[in-house]
Amino acid sequence: MSDLLNALINSEEKIDWRHFVSDIRQQEKRYLLRNDILSAFTNYCINHQKSSEFPKKSNLSKLIYYTQEIILEDGSLCLIIRPKIASQEVYRVTEDLKIEPMTVQELLDVRDLLVNRFHPNEGDIFEIDFGPFYDYSPTIRDPKNIGKGVQFLNRFLSSKLLQDPQKWLEALYKFLSLHSYNNLQLLINDRIKSQQELSDRVKQGLKLVSDLPADEPYQNFRYELQTMGFEPGWGNTASRVRDTLSLLDELIDSPDPQTLEAFISRIPMIFRVVLVSIHGWFGQEGVLGRPDTGGQVVYVLDQAKSLEQELQEHICLTGLEVLGVESKVIILTRLIPNNDGTRSNQRLEKVHGTENAWILRVPFREYNPNITHNWISRFEIWPYLETYAIDAERELLAEFQGRPDFIVGNYSDGNLVAFLLARRLKITQCNVAHALEKSKYLFSNLYWQESDDKYHFSLQFTADLIAMNAANFLISSTYQEIVGTPDSVGQYESYKCFTMPELYHVVNGIELFSPKFNVVPPGVNENVYFPYTRQEDRIPNDRDRLEQMLFTQEDSGLIFGKLDDPSKRPLFSMARLDRIKNMTGLAECFGKSERLQEHCNLILIAGKLRVEESGDNEERDEIEKLYRIIDQYNLYGKIRWLGVRLPKNDSGEIYRIIADRQGIFVQPALFEAFGLTILESMISGLPTFATQFGGPLEIIQDKVNGFYINPTNLEETAEKIWEFVSKCEHNSNYWQEVSQRGIERVYSTYTWKIHTNKLLSLGRIYGFWNFTSKENREDLLRYLESLFYLLYKPRAQRLLERHLHS
């Protein structure tokens, strides 16, 4: 990018550059983000009457396109340029047009000065740098392959097998001899004493099973295999054992990535799984819509059900079912003594529809029962997590009657607890970050001191850095969660370098090109959410009851608004009432469009109806705002607001009822990491409009099976929805066409079977990688422990002291 800068400044366009800089200096802002920069450039072109070609083909326009941020300094400015995804360059341009490359440290100093918190000459600041810990690990080169970590890792491991077959076959031999279940040896026994002997015995075993009928049960030839050195775990029939041994034989003779993944995915090494989801009201009914309780609960419950089924199928296929081997999945969450009518005070609860999946609730220690016996906001939860992990370890060991094999953390708090548990139990750790708050709150790190009393970002961002670097692998729902798009920075990318003035500088917070990143989108519960056309699976009584609740039932204390004409096309949305979910923005969008009001009703299922009923500050603010909008735009008779918490089955039927009336689902979030409600609405058959900021970009194909909206531009959003409504009224088939394409999109890509199959395959392959690579993670883990005890724990202790005196 320095070439482009030099070309600009050494051409006639340097006059335009001076004028553009002069224009932006007239603004009050000293820190311009991408949207500010693009808007300022558009205004510059208009005000200076530039030609129609200038905004597209000039050097200045090219520079503007790649510039992510501009910081105005006295006498110069700092350009943060993103020439490509996951890459950043920083330059200072002086008044006399000198171009000086800047280091990350210099950039962070400039940002500190911007908030007048810290001057770099007044002393050093703590620097966090994870870069050296990734120097000895393989890294991906091409940004488009970020998120395909396991594919890269398989290629890397296969190449190692070819380069040094003796070493890697020895590692493979040792790895196969490791596995057992409750003292039952699996795969190979001590009759096979070396990797060469393993190779010979594989060929003997293949000859044995090849002569047997394909469906011959494993039990019938178990002892013949055992005398060769093969223990249970290779398959449940002769054909399954033959296929598994063939893969190993091929891997020994001529390794390739596909064979490696196929073989490792067959190894019985994961039986007991922990899913960690700490905050909120975790339950199977009566919890959704409460503060901090939404899509993550749905995600984890559905994941647990599918995992248990997938694990049990794998046990059956490996021939271990007849030996009494069982899978077990535990969702580890928080026990809340003052349960407010939920089951959150029950220690153990079986997951509906499963044989051996459980919710295990462990309480926070009673530092102050007025706090710890009640729900605690996800922003206030941090002081209790270390002792919680210690208590949870004891409970998990008792429930599993041994160590779990695999742990999956969810969200920042669950990921930190997963780190603490994985460290103590020495098991493979996977992290899921459904949404990282750093991306949701603008300048949340830069101005952290102004909001730390309310949000405690200093704790959360430190916890994120620790957990994401500790994890053996991370899964995201979308590619752009990791590294964004050409126009926007990804959630994880935002942790690459940042400052928290007077606390620390992060000069390298995460290696985006590490193979630990994998895109594994979630699924949708097909038993609850299915197309509205499947009338035979719908329950008429439920439909009648819910239809009345949505459109005609009199105010019951849980419903606001009576519709003048319930037959109008419904615009529907369902989400928590918080700022990011932006339900108030949708109401205002509706209020600004007389055409939408004339042809549609707005139906919202969102939070509570009264301020005094909510204990969440953001929810209270949004309740007040929604009432103001209804008054301002006189939406009485056109809006229906339900403050209800729905059982899952009811929410599925509600989507279908809206679809019966050829309605529309609108997801107006300011940012959405993924968007399970989008999958739910699409599979139900509802044409869906969803935010262009976040995961929906990878779910929806715009104007094919859904539509993108910019929730910050209410008039444009209203126009897009109206355009669709108008088309539907002029073409009776248009609604059905979009509806059907949405259904097909979900079934082809977003099922839980696809998700859990991939997740378990990743768990096995990263377990194999950790063993065979002999990668020294101890230095990294010690560094992470230092951050935990020196940065995280003292701040958590101060928050705890505040809670003790509440």
Every domain of the chain and the residues it spans: 2-102, 145-264, 272-488+755-804, 535-752
CB 329 within 8 A of CB 304: yes
Nearest C-alpha neighbor of 294 from the set 482, 574, 528: 574
Task: Return the structure tokens found at 135.
Answer: 């120097």
pLDDT, tens only, 100-113: 999 999 999 999 98
Nearest C-alpha neighbor of 760 from the set 152, 186, 304: 304
User: Is 658's pLDDT higher than 80?
Assistant: yes
What architecture is domain 272-488+755-804?
A: 3-Layer(aba) Sandwich (3.40)
CB under 8 Å to 142, separation ≥6 — which residues? none
CB 590 within 8 A of CB 570: no
User: Is 795's pLDDT higher than 60?
Assistant: yes
CB 738 within 8 A of CB 728: no
Rounded CA-CA distance 218/226 in Å is 11
Task: Return the structure tokens found at 478.
Answer: 């979308």
Rounded CA-CA distance 575/81 in Å is 36
pLDDT, tens only, 443-487: 999 999 999 999 999 999 999 999 999 999 999 988 988 998 888
CB under 8 Å to 94, separation ≥6 — which residues? 75, 76, 100
Question: What pTM did the predictor assign?
Answer: 0.84
| Banded model confidence at residue 525, pLDDT cuts 50, 70, 90 | confident
Q: What's the pLDDT at 593? A: 96
Query: What region does 494 belong to: left with phi over 0, alpha with psi -120 to 50, or beta?
Result: alpha
List strand residue ranges (DSSP E) for 225-327, in order: 272-276
Rounded CA-CA distance 275/470 in Å is 16
The average pLDDT across 577-584 equals 92
pLDDT, tens only, 603-645: 999 988 999 888 888 899 999 999 999 999 999 999 999 998 8
Q: What's the pLDDT at 6? A: 86
pLDDT, tens only, 660-706: 999 999 999 998 878 889 999 999 999 999 999 888 888 999 999 99
User: Is 118's pLDDT higher than 70?
Assistant: no
Write the burial class of residue 76 (CB in 10 Å: 0-12 exposed, 13-18 middle, 19+ buried). Answer: middle
Q: What's the pLDDT at 500? A: 95
| Banded model confidence at residue 121, pLDDT cuts 50, 70, 90 | low
User: Is 806's pLDDT higher than 90?
Assistant: no
Q: What's the pLDDT at 165? A: 82
CB 714 within 8 A of CB 721: no
Lowest mean pLDDT, pick from 280-294, 581-595, 767-781: 767-781
What is the DSSP secondary structure assignment for residue 80, as one 8-state letter?
A: E
| Banded model confidence at residue 775, pLDDT cuts 50, 70, 90 | low
Radius of gyration of the chain (CA): 29
Nearest C-alpha neighbor of 671 from the set 640, 701, 644, 709: 709
User: Is 538's pLDDT higher than 70?
Assistant: yes
Q: What's the pLDDT at 147? A: 94
Q: What's the pLDDT at 495? A: 96
What architecture is domain 2-102?
A: Roll (3.10)
User: Is 123's pLDDT higher than 70?
Assistant: no
Q: What CATH superfamily is the domain 535-752?
A: Glycogen Phosphorylase B; (3.40.50.2000)
Q: What's the pLDDT at 565? A: 96
CB 306 within 8 A of CB 755: yes
What rounded mean pLDDT belongs to the chain? 93
Q: What's the pLDDT at 418? A: 98
pLDDT, tens only, 396-420: 999 999 999 999 999 999 999 999 9
- For tokens 């930190």, name the residue: 416
User: Is 268's pLDDT higher than 80?
Assistant: yes
| Banded model confidence at residue 796, pLDDT cuts 50, 70, 90 | very high
Rounded CA-CA distance 785/795 in Å is 15
pLDDT, tens only, 701-753: 999 999 999 999 999 999 999 999 999 999 989 999 999 999 999 998 898 99
CB under 8 Å to 772, separation ≥6 — which residues? 157, 168, 171, 172, 175
Q: What's the pLDDT at 117? A: 54
Q: What's the pLDDT at 576? A: 86
User: Is 253's pLDDT higher than 70?
Assistant: yes
Q: Is the dihedral of CA 304, 308, 311, 317 positive or negative?
A: negative
Two domains, one topology: 2-102 and 145-264: no
User: Is 195's pLDDT higher than 60?
Assistant: yes
The average pLDDT across 759-775 equals 88
What architecture is domain 145-264?
A: Up-down Bundle (1.20)
pLDDT, tens only, 424-433: 999 999 999 8
Question: What is the b/e burial string over 580-604, where b = at least 16 CB atoms within 10 angstroms of the residue's CB?
Answer: bbbbbbbbbbbbbbeebbebbbbbb
Task: Return the structure tokens found at 143.
Answer: 């940004």
Are β-strands 473-476 and 517-519 bridged in parallel, bridged antiparallel, or unpaired? parallel
Q: How far apart are the first and last CA of the chain?
A: 54
User: Is 338's pLDDT higher than 60?
Assistant: yes
